[in-house]
């Protein structure tokens, strides 16, 4: 196994990680921004106010993007397992 192969596998793993984390992180960012604007407009400085909307939004994002995320992860794992003979020999 060459260093280039290891770097390619690592780069692809990081790309998959970013793809899988992006929907949930973007939902949390958007909800946090909306709640922050609401708190600034109403001067309600409650730290726990954004927890429930973020929790509900993350659950909804997971329900919507979950099948896609799972298929991406299974595809990457399948490709990695199928490439083992080529990496060894």
Q: Concatenate the DSSP letters of all residues of 33-79 into one string.
A: HHHHHHHHHHT---GGGGHHHHHHHHHHHHHHHHHHHHHHHHHHHHH
* pLDDT value, residue 1: 78
pTM of the model: 0.81
In this predicted model, what pLDDT tens digit does every residue of 42-76 receive, in sequence order? 888 888 888 999 999 999 999 999 999 999 999 99
* pLDDT value, residue 86: 86
* pLDDT value, residue 80: 93
Spell out the domain ranges in the chain.
3-88
* pLDDT value, residue 58: 94
Residue 89 has pLDDT above 80, yes or no: no
């Amino acid at each position: 196994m060459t260093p280039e192969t290891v770097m390619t596998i690592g780069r692809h793993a990081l790309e998959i990680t970013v793809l899988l984390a992006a929907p949930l992180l973007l939902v949390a960012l958007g909800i946090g921004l909306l709640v922050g604007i609401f708190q600034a407009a109403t001067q309600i400085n409650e730290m726990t106010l954004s927890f429930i909307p973020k929790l509900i939004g993350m659950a909804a994002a997971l329900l919507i993007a979950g099948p896609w995320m799972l298929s991406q992860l299974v595809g990457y794992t399948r490709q990695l397992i199928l490439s083992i003979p080529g990496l060894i020999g």
